[in-house]
Amino acid sequence: LILPALCLTRSAALGSESDCYSPTSAATRYDSKAVFGNHGDQEQREAKYCEPPFENLAVNRQVVASSTCGSPPIRVCSRRGFCDLCDSEQRKLSYSASHLTDYHVHSTCWISGRVSPDDSGVNLTLSLGKKHTVYYSDRLRIGLPDAIEAYKSADFGATWQLWHLFSNNCSADYPGHRAGYSYDFGVYINPREVVCSDTSQVDPAVPGSANSDTDKFDSSPHSDENRRSNSMDRIVLSFSTNFKRYRPQEDRDRDPIIADWMLATDIRLLLRRKQRRQQSRRRDFPAVAVGDAFALSNIDVGGRCFCNGHAARCLPNSKAGGPGASVCDCQHGTEGEDCERCKPFWVDLPWRRGTQEQPTQCRRCQCNGHTDRCHFDASTYQFSAQPKSAGVCLGCRHNTAGRNCQYCRPGYHRNWLAAVDSVRVCTLCNCHPLGSTSGICDRDTGRCVCKSGVGGEKCDRCLAGFEQTSDPAAPCRRPQDKVKGTELELGGAI
Ligand SMILES: [Ca+2]
């Protein structure tokens, strides 16, 4: 699980927009049933599931420690008896929390202030700046706490959830939690089960442990890594957020429980000293020893920027979130920090989280180019035929109307010489004000509805056998219908 540091820099290869669309597919057309028919404006590329690259999310991020040595200056000693002065005022003698996420994985470390078993512990809080999917978390150890409680927040620290436990005495410290390493489990565990990893096997400070008097860490779950680094007196503690939590026949990306379990905006480690170890530690060390403090050389967090399957990269977010904040470079018609909603006007389909098996995308409303406003209508979606559609266009311009601005509004008819997206697609009916029953014509043919005895496309002439009158209610009458004394000269067109 330990990746070479060079592979984990945040400048790792970035995804691009093209990673989110199928390269082979021709543009697909929306099969509109609108009167105006299909239109090039409605073409969309075929979506492909995409996600930002896997990386070490912790690199160069700020870690806030509730306690750090050096103020006032204090001498700290390693288990091997090497001592140094910790002075926060002097850069070369500083053991600040920034050393936990620097590139100098092995050679720099953070050391806490003095810790006693009565203390509530020391917090290390790593803010990721936005939601990320975390696969595992590691920390390299120098001065190991008796217990570490790992918490995660998915809402920027508003609420915290216990994620994982480490202890050199799991049964005493955390009864009720399964003890062991998930890597060793022969069974699948509950997606949200909090496991306590037993560190007694790898903790040299525990009398009787496999390593209490040596620097060999062969019995640890990370024996390979530990053998490599044992000359530097380091141990890697790690836990996985997904291993053994989902069954092979299940798709974890479609399992919202596991997906949510892996999500974090912030990670907090609570490092604790327990009463039971004080004697052994005092026996081995002088009064000011690192055993009285905690020391970690590095924190690694393997994961991805979380974008709901709609972005292949994340970009720095200068607008919000402070330093280190990032935002998804959303594709598929989505927007938001995590691409968690459809863009305005892209609401013809409901937003969905994309998966490998079911890449999804938002779709533009089908408004034939006559408006750039629409809204999602759930009942329209529910009752729409295939292909499903929910967008209702708002403020149709150019005398158009309808859910898709797909026909002409009353008083106008289709101009078949103009394209569907033309501003001249609809022409005034121009019905004769006296001859027609209203100013409204057939929206497709333009034919006006005429009063009795009136004819013509625009109701602008009397039918054969009819004569024009001065009566607006009956502009054309048969001659025998004329009322005596009100005869008028007959004209041509009324
Ligand atoms: Ca370091």
Task: Report the separation in Å between the CA atom of 98 and the middle of ligand 1, taken as the mean of its atom positions.
Answer: 8
- Measure the CA dihedral 7/303/185/203, to 10°: 60
Average confidence (pLDDT) over 436-457: 92
Whole-number pLDDT of residue 376? 95
pLDDT tens column, 227-241: 333 334 457 788 888
The answer for residues whose C-beta is within 8 angstroms of residue 217's C-beta and 6 or more apart is: 202, 210, 211, 223, 226, 227, 230, 235
Domain CATH number, residue 87: 2.60.120.260
Residue 59, pLDDT > 70, answer yes
Contact between 277 and 305 (Cβ < 8 Å): no
**Is residue 488 included in any domain, yes or no?**
no
**Is residue 48 included in any domain, yes or no?**
no
**Final residue before a domain boundary, out of 305, 332, 362:** 305
Between these two residues, 43 and 153, which has the higher pLDDT value? 153
From residue 250, how far is each of 259, 352, 427 by CA, in Å?
A: 12, 19, 58
Residue 211, pLDDT > 50, answer no
**Is residue 70 included in any domain, yes or no?**
yes
Task: Report the separation in Å between the CA atom of 373 and the middle of ligand 1, taken as the mean of its atom positions.
Answer: 52
Task: Report the separation in Å between the CA atom of 140 and the middle of ligand 1, taken as the mean of its atom positions.
Answer: 9
**Helices (H), strands (E): how many in the chain?**
5, 28
Mean pLDDT of the chain: 79
Give the pLDDT band (50/70/90) at residue 217. very low
How many angstroms from the chain centroid is the CA of residue 113?
38
Whole-number pLDDT of residue 384? 87
Task: Give the structural domain span for 474.
Answer: 430-481
Task: Report the separation in Å between the CA atom of 84 and the middle of ligand 1, taken as the mean of its atom positions.
Answer: 17
**Is residue 23 included in any domain, yes or no?**
no
* 438 shares a domain with 300: no
Question: 406-428 in b/e burial notation, b at 16+ Cβ within 10 A?
Answer: bbbbebbbbbeeeebbeeebbbe
Task: Report the separation in Å between the CA atom of 101 and the middle of ligand 1, taken as the mean of its atom positions.
Answer: 6
- pTM assigned to the model: 0.76
- Whether omega before 53 lies within 30 degrees of 0, making that bond cis, reads no
How many angstroms from the chain centroid is the CA of residue 49?
13
Whole-number pLDDT of residue 77? 75
* 434 shares a domain with 297: no
Task: Report the separation in Å between the CA atom of 203 and the middle of ligand 1, taken as the mean of its atom positions.
Answer: 20
**Is residue 439 included in any domain, yes or no?**
yes
Whole-number pLDDT of residue 35? 45
Task: Report the separation in Å between the CA atom of 211 and the middle of ligand 1, taken as the mean of its atom positions.
Answer: 23
* 132 shares a domain with 270: yes
Say which range, 199-208, 308-317, 323-332, has the weakest mean pLDDT: 199-208
Whole-number pLDDT of residue 5? 29
Average confidence (pLDDT) over 316-340: 87
**Final residue before a domain boundary, out of 272, 305, 338:** 305
Three-class SS state of 98 = helix
Instruction: Read off φ and ψ for residue 257, nearest 5 degrees.
Output: -65, -50
Whole-number pLDDT of residue 140? 65
**Is residue 368 included in any domain, yes or no?**
no
Domains: count for the chain: 2
Which residues crowd ion ligand 1, with CB under 5 Å? 99, 102, 108, 297-298
Contact between 234 and 140 (Cβ < 8 Å): yes
**Is residue 129 included in any domain, yes or no?**
yes
**Final residue before a domain boundary, out of 268, 289, 305:** 305
* 293 shares a domain with 435: no
* 258 shares a domain with 122: yes
**Is residue 29 included in any domain, yes or no?**
no
